[in-house]
Amino acid sequence: MSQAPTPVDGVYELGHALHVLDAEVHGFSAFDIERVERFWTFGDLHTSSAGFVLCLRDGRRTYLDFLHWHAFEQDEDFRIEVEFLDGGGTLPTFTSPEQPLGGWSDETSHLNKVFTG
């Protein structure tokens, strides 16, 4: 079930991921993304995490998983992982695909402004 996001949910995580996304490493770049199909976010005192199902301009669908460890007295660190999905409504594989930490949301208009201007 989708949750209504705030106007900033996922913006930080998506922006950070787009900044480091590399076509040679991840199979596509930020310029290849047409839109965000759905997403989830979760944060606590130690981490920010998010996942984005992305529709690429060439028709492929992919899942981008983002995790950021917050720095207090150490270096910050983050990772992104990419999983290509089939063309249907398939979602990435989690322990519970229906409910990642932040709950799926298909309210993505605030995120898609990045790609539509």
Give the integer Cα–Cα distance in Å for 55 and 61.
Answer: 5
pTM score of the predicted model: 0.83
Per the structure, the complete domain to which residue 48 belongs is given by: 11-116
For 54-82, write each residue's pLDDT tens digit: 999 999 999 999 888 766 656 667 788 99
For residue 79, the model assigns a pLDDT of 85
Please name every residue paired with 55 in a beta bridge, in sequence order, or none if there are none.
35, 61
Q: 5 in a domain, yes or no?
A: no
Please name every residue paired with 85 in a beta bridge, in sequence order, or none if there are none.
61
In contact, 35 and 115? CB cutoff 8 Å: yes
For residue 117, the model assigns a pLDDT of 62
Residue 111 identity = L
Q: 76 in a domain, yes or no?
A: yes
Give the integer Cα–Cα distance in Å for 98 and 38.
Answer: 12
For residue 54, the model assigns a pLDDT of 95
Q: 3 in a domain, yes or no?
A: no
For residue 12, the model assigns a pLDDT of 87
Domain count along the chain: 1
Q: 95 in a domain, yes or no?
A: yes
Q: 20 in a domain, yes or no?
A: yes
Q: 1 in a domain, yes or no?
A: no
* Intervals of the chain under pLDDT 70: 1-5, 70-76, 94-99, 101-102, 117
